[in-house]
Amino acid sequence: MTTMDSIALSRQMLDGDKMIVNMGPSHPTTHGTLRIVLELEGETITKATPEMGYLHRGVEKLGESLSYQQFIPLTDRLNYCSAIMNNVGYATAVEKLLDIQIPKRAAQIRVLMSELSRVADHIVCVGVNAVDIGAFTAFLYLFKQRETAYDLFEMAAGQRLHTSFTRIGGLFRDIPEGFVPLCERFLVECAEAIDELERLLTKNPIWHDRTKGIGVISAEDAVNWGYTGPSLRAAGVPQDLRKAQPYLGYETYDFDIPVGTTGDVFDRYLVRVEEMRQSLRIIRQVLDRLEPGPVMVDDPKVALPPKEKVYTRMESLIHHFKLIMHGMEMPVGEVYSATEAANGELGFYIVSDGGKNPYRIRVRPPCLPIFSSFESQVKGGLIADAVAVLGAMNIIAGELDR
């Protein structure tokens, strides 16, 4: 039965007071295409059926016919608001499979870029959540900072949004000359912008009315629904992979994890704002201890040799040829590696059969369990609350549907 038929049929079965409203798949919010069919009685929601898959592009299947290095641009387009974190997550997974260590400078720059992306992602989430509720100014003030972050990404990787900055074994290239001064300027300006945002929203009675007590979830429920990331921390569970299962040297940085109490939209907003401040703190520490060194592992079986050597030495030419034509030599086995992305635990489950292409790549999307709990969060509430809850969940369709 087609979806239109089932809606028509349920319309017949409802009594006169109920109404069906369709939110999406084409809708004004920028969360990407998803569809929620709401059954309303007046303005109260009696049933909410979310539907997804409108951006399902077949990334996992495509990964089976691409080499490990060729999959990196596809990972960019998963959570497109913070592309570098996906790159880092995937590269970490393949490096775990290969059991290689990346150089220290590469790890530090990965941390730096990840935290920049985290700030950028939270800017989008908080900004868009505010716009949905009606507070447009916060969005405009924050987006100016996002433009500076874009400038930083463009300086480092050559692209504003889909950076593809990491490679298996390290980074695409080292950060250029003007990066560090611009980054220092960004730290100062972004801190001021976050202060401005807090002045606009945190003590605003309209914001309190629209977000406090909306979308409340308890800690046990959040864990049972599979929440991870800011939504889980807002519910009171202090789970952050950067502290709990550190990677890339996160145990050497000094930062705090904001934890909320009720899990409602206001708590999620506060957790995200505080996380932005903590990210700026981490970036400050990385800039202070950045030391010169290589950014790519020195293993010719994994990393392409530099061009000067390829043109002048025979073994480098042969390594280059083998890497491009036959791919890296992968062990047979499977790994699951998770990093703390902006939305939660971004996991990559890679099954390798020793060949050039992965046998199976699975991307564990952090926002799928969060979106699946949508009905339980909005049932009995008003339509306006559904919009606020959807904004606070930070659903990115690229990651949700892959």
Partner 1 sequence: MSELDINDAVMTTRLDAVVNWGRKNSLWPMPFGVACCAIEFMSMMASRFDLSRFGAEAMRFSPRQSDMMLILGTITNKMAPVLRTIYAQMAEPKWVISVGVCASSGGMYRTYATLQGVDRVIPVDVYVPGCPPRPESMIYGVMKLQEKIEKESLSMRKDHIARFYESLARQESLQAEKGLTSQQAIREMLMDAGERGVGTIF
Partner 2 sequence: MIIEHIDAQLPGTVTDRHAFRGDQTIVIAGEHLLAVVDLLHREGFQLLVDITAVDWPEREQRFDVVYHWLNLASQERLRVKVPVADGGSVPSLTGSFKTANWFEREVFDMFGIGFDGHPDLRRLLTWPDFPGHALRKDFPLDGGDVFCMEGCTAPYNNGERGGR
List residues near partner 1 by CB under 8 A: 2-4, 25-28, 30, 32-33, 53-59, 61-62, 73-74, 77, 80-81, 124, 140, 143-144, 146-147, 150, 160-162, 397-398
Residue 133, token pair as written in the block: 């509720």
- Tokens at 30, concatenated: 């920028």
- 351 lies in the binding site for partner 2 (CB under 8 A): yes
Q: Which does 362 bind (CB under 5 to 8 A by kind): partner 1, partner 2, none?
A: partner 2
| Binding at 96: pick from partner 1, partner 2, none (beta carbon under 5-8 Å per type) | partner 2
The span from the CA of 162 to the CA of 87, in Å, is 10
Contact 109, 248 (CB under 8 A): no
Residue 354 as a binder of partner 2 (CB under 8 A): the answer is: no
Structure tokens at 114: 């990840």
Look at residues 167, 150, 146, 147 and name the one whose alpha carbon lies nearest to residue 73: 167
401 is written with which tokens? 């549907």
Task: Tell me which of 187, 322, 359, 382 binds partner 2, using CB under 8 A.
Answer: 359
Q: Which does 26 bind (CB under 5 to 8 A by kind): partner 1, partner 2, none?
A: partner 1
Residues 36-55 that bind partner 2 (CB under 8 A): 52-53
Least spacing, CB of residue 272 vs partner 2, in Å:
21
Token look-up 């050559």 returns 158
Q: Whole-number minimum distance, CB 383 to partner 1, in Å? A: 16
Which of partner 2, partner 1, none sits in contact with 213, Cβ below 5 to 8 A by type? none
- What x-and-dash track marks residues 98-137 binding partner 2 by CB under 8 A? -x--------------------------------------
- Among residues 156, 164, 157, 85, the alpha carbon closest in space to that of 120 is found at 85
Candidate segments 78-86, 203-211, 224-232, 278-286, binder of partner 2 by CB under 8 A: 224-232
CB of 259 to partner 2, least distance (A): 13
| Contacts with partner 2, 293-332, as mask; x by CB under 8 A | ----------------------------------------
C-alpha closest to that of 230 among 278, 277, 267: 267
Q: Nearer Cβ to partner 1, position 147 or 298?
A: 147
Q: Could you say which of 2, 12, 26, 312 contacts partner 2 (CB under 8 A)?
A: 2
Q: How far is the CB of 167 from partner 2 (least distance, A)?
A: 20
For residue 146, the number of C-alpha atoms closer than 13 Å in the C-beta half-sphere is 19
The one-letter amino acid code at 301 reads: K
Residues in the chain: 402
236 binds partner 2 (CB under 8 A): no
Among 121, 274, 345, 385, binds partner 2 (CB under 8 A): 345
> Minimal distance in Å, beta carbon 43 to partner 1?
21
Amino acid identity, residue 153?
A: F
Spatial distance between the Cα atoms of 376 and 380, rounded to a whole number of angstroms = 9
Would you say 400 and 365 are in contact if contact means Cβ atoms under 8 Å apart?
Answer: yes
Please name which of 168, 188, 163 lies closest in space to residue 295, comparing C-alpha atoms.
Answer: 168
Which stretch, 93-101, 157-165, 183-191, 271-279, contacts partner 2 (CB under 8 A)?
93-101
Task: Determine which residue in the list 100, 187, 290, 368 makes contact with partner 2, applying CB under 8 A.
Answer: 368
Tell me which amino acid residue 99 is. D
CA distance linking residue 370 with residue 79, whole number of Å = 15
**Residues contacting residue 374 through CB under 8 Å, at least 6 positions apart:** 36, 48, 50, 389, 390, 393
Picking from 34, 142, 156, the residue whose alpha carbon sits closest to that of residue 84 is 156
Candidate list 211, 239, 279, 394; residue touching partner 2; CB under 8 A? 239
Q: What's the CA gap between 308 and 81, in Å, rounded?
A: 36
CA gap 62, 70 in Å, rounded: 10
Query: Binding residues for partner 2, per CB under 8 A?
Result: 1-3, 52-53, 56, 58, 60-62, 64-65, 96-97, 99, 220-221, 223-226, 228, 237, 239, 244-245, 333-336, 338, 345, 347, 349, 351, 359-360, 362, 364, 368-369, 371-373, 401
